[in-house]
Structure 1
Amino acid sequence: MKVTKAEIVISAVSKKQYPEDGLPEIALAGRSNVGKSSFINKLIQRKNLARTSSKPGKTQTLNFYRINDAFYFVDVPGYGYAKVSKKEREKWGQMMEEYFRFRETLRAVLLITDIRHEPTKDDVQMYDYLKYYEIPVVIIATKLDKIPKNKRDSFVKRTRTVLQADPQDVLIPFSAETGEGKEAAWSAIEKYLA
C-alpha cells in the first residue's frame, strides 16, 4: 500500500472520544517497548508520526492514526510494564476491554511480539483473549534484524508454539530497521480492509 496521508486524529481514553466516521480499524497490541510505534512508522514511511519512547508504558491512551483517509491504525497501551500503578493498569484494562469487545469498526488486531524473546504470559493472555472474542489476529514478530538468518525459523516456531497459535493465523517476522516483512504485513492488513 502506498501511504500518501497519515495523521494522528485523537488520543482517546473513552468511547465518546473515538472517531465516528465509520472507517475500518486495525489495532496494535503488545508489550510496552515491543516496537509498535516503530512498526507503524515503518509501514507508513514516516520517521516519527507514532512517537517512540525509551520509557516503556508511555502510551496510556488509544491513539487513532488515520491512514489515507481510508482506515485507522489504533495503538493501544502496552501491557506488562511494572512501573505503572495497579490502579492505572486497571484503568487501561477497562479502556482496552471496552474497545476490543464493543468497537464495531475493529477489523483485526496486530499482536506485536519481540522475536528475540519467548512470548510472555501477557502475550499469551492477549492472544487467548482475542481468540476467545473471535477477533481476527495477525502476529507480528518484530526485531527480526537482531536474529541470525540461520536461526530465524526456530525463533518463529518458538513464537507460534508458546502462543499455541492457530495454524490459520498469519505470523510475520518483521524488522523496522530493514523493512523486512513490510510487504507481507501490508498484504495481511489489506485483507481485513477489503
Structure 2
Amino acid sequence: GDPATHFFFVLSGTVKLCRIAPSGEEKVMDLVRPGHYFAEAAMFMGGRYPVYARVLEPTRLVELDNKHFLGLLRSNADLCVRLMSTMSQRIHGLVNEIDNLTLQSGAQRVIGYLLQQLPEGAAPPSVRLTVPKHVIASRLGIQPETLSRVLAKLRGKHLIDVHDDQIVFNDVDALRCLS
C-alpha cells in the first residue's frame, strides 16, 4: 500500500507481485521477469500500489518516475501506443487467466504452466523451475500439496521426469492434450 509514484522495469532477476488475504495467506498475482515492467497501471490511477513486490533472486530494476513518464507519453504518440499495446496484451492475458482459474482443473493449470515455460526447440524438452514450488502453486491458485500430487501423477504416467528443479518432458503432445 505505498504511494504509487514510480513503476519498474526488470533488467534481471524475478519479482513476485503479491496480495495478502485477510487470513494472512499470500497470493502470488504475477511473476515479472527480465524485459517486463510492473506497477504501470498505478501511474494512471494514482493512489497506492494494489500489490506488494518482492524479489525472488538478485534482481536489477529501473525505477521510472510516474510524473516524468506521463510527460513523455503526452509528447510521444508512438511511446503511448506501445504502452497501450502492452497493457492491452496484459488485459488479454488476465482474461485468459480468469478462464484458466475458473474453467480448468488444478492439474490442467500445472500442465499449462509447465508447457508455457518450455523453451522453443529444447532437446530434450525440459524446464528448470526458477522459482520455489510454493510460489508456482500460489500463482496457479492451488495448494503446494496439489502441485506435488500433480507432478507425482504425471511422473507415474511417465509423462515427465523430475530431478530437483529440472522437469524433463517425456511426451509433450500427450501433455498438450491434457492441458
TM-score by length of 2: 0.29
TM-score by length of 1: 0.28
Structure whose CA Rg is larger: 2
Give the helix-richer structure, 1 or 2.
Answer: 2
